[in-house]
Amino acid sequence: MTEYVRVSEQLALPRGPGAPITATARRLDTYPVHVCLDEDTALAHLCAELGGRRVALVTDHTVYALHARRLAERLAATGLDVVSTSFPAGEASKSLRTASTLLDWLAGTALVRRDVLLAVGGGVVMDTVGWVASAYMRGLPYINVPTTLLAHVDAALGGKVAIDHPSAKNLIGAFYQPKAVVSNVGYLRTLDGRGLRAGLAEAIKTGIIASPELFALIEDQHRAILAAEPSTTADLVHASSVLKCRLISRDPYERDLRRPLNLGHTIGHAVETATGYGPVLHGEAVAFGMACAARIAERRGLLDPALCERVTGLLDRVDLPTTLAALPARLDPATTIEALGQIRKIRDGRLRFVLPTALGETVITDDVTDEEIHAALVVSPAAESTLASSHGGGDG
């Protein structure tokens, strides 16, 4: 017997033109974040979240060889219909060309609107696949499976998805939340030291803006974290994920652009743009941006010099760049300020800086001058060393 879904509406017809019409659309997105120690546990969570739907797994070539091919095979062994593809690793792939290729690939699959995209990889994969998911069929569910520390503590969370444009990072994007996040910290054992350090930068940022406890944990445990010790990294990822989820829940769609989570990103994005998206990892650029923000705050009298040294000292101890000379690509102050000028155009003539004033406290301002930025950029390693000595800093 045929089953019908009956819909009944009895709407009154308005009489003639009147006041402006108000259209309303409300949406509340919630999703689970599973932090796991191994792939077996992660697989169980994934299968539960997928609910038997078809899966299109997308990753980069490096992660495909390390983890994603095996994960696809294990998902298929449970009876799921799985297809997969990959693209070249690196920030250069976070582009309209890659996104267009993925959209064409998806159009050739059997996926329908309730099937699931699986993003397996680092921040480039999370951002690119998330944006493709937001556009394909007006929104396809997607699940993030981060494999880098930066993706675990930052990129996999929050639904800010985007691809880069030659004129600015993340220029083409959307807010589109994942269906779930499944974080297996076991994947971090295949990450090199540079990748771990770049991811740790985002966790340090969260500690600076929101949690003295997290900052102290990283100070105390940074060696174990950079050795990818499972229980320590699980604690870090869990704590960072809880804190970031709390912070973004206050304003998930960035209606207020005055956001502490952008600490280090104003100069950081300019560094990435000026160096051509690739030579400087995102976390490295953010670390440098945080050091500059701390110096600007100190020179304005907003940040105690000892705390400025504590912040830059931790970045130094985990081998993250705090000076231009320490960046892995040659960059001069003029080029950086020029890139900031392009960002200023995009942002209605304003550059918002998040400046730390204490651990867990920041101020946000749009009146930082080019002269202040230049002074923060050109500090020399020797000057940093002298400054640290005068503040009584040390590894401790």
3-state secondary structure of 160: strand
d(C-alpha 363, C-alpha 341), whole Å = 22
pLDDT tens for residues 53-112? 999 999 999 999 999 999 999 999 999 999 999 999 999 999 999 999 999 999 999 999
Residue 268 in contact with residue 280, Cβ under 8 Å?
A: no
pTM: 0.87
Residue 182 in contact with residue 49, Cβ under 8 Å?
A: yes
CB atoms within 10 A of CB 112: 10
For residue 59, the cross-strand partners are 86
d(C-alpha 124, C-alpha 155), whole Å = 8
135's CB contacts (< 8 A; 6+ apart) are 99, 103, 174
- Please report the DSSP string for 43-111 in residue order: HHHHHHHHTT--EEEEEEHHHIIIIIHHHHHHHHHTT--EEEEEE--SGGGSSHHHHHHHHHHHHTS--
pLDDT tens for residues 315-345? 999 999 999 999 999 999 999 998 888 777 5
Domains of the chain (ranges; CATH) run: 33-190 (3.40.50.1970), 193-390 (1.20.1090.10)
Written as tens digits, the pLDDT of the chain (396 aa) is 888 988 998 888 877 777 788 898 888 889 999 999 999 999 999 999 999 999 999 999 999 999 999 999 999 999 999 999 999 999 999 999 999 999 999 999 999 999 999 999 999 999 999 999 999 999 999 999 999 999 999 999 999 999 998 888 888 999 999 999 999 999 999 999 999 999 999 999 999 999 999 999 999 999 999 999 999 999 999 999 999 999 998 878 777 656 899 999 999 999 998 998 889 999 999 999 999 999 999 999 999 999 999 999 999 999 999 999 999 999 999 999 988 887 775 566 678 899 999 999 999 999 999 999 999 999 765 554 444 444 343 333
d(C-alpha 60, C-alpha 73), whole Å = 16
Phi, psi of 161 (to 5 degrees): -120, 145
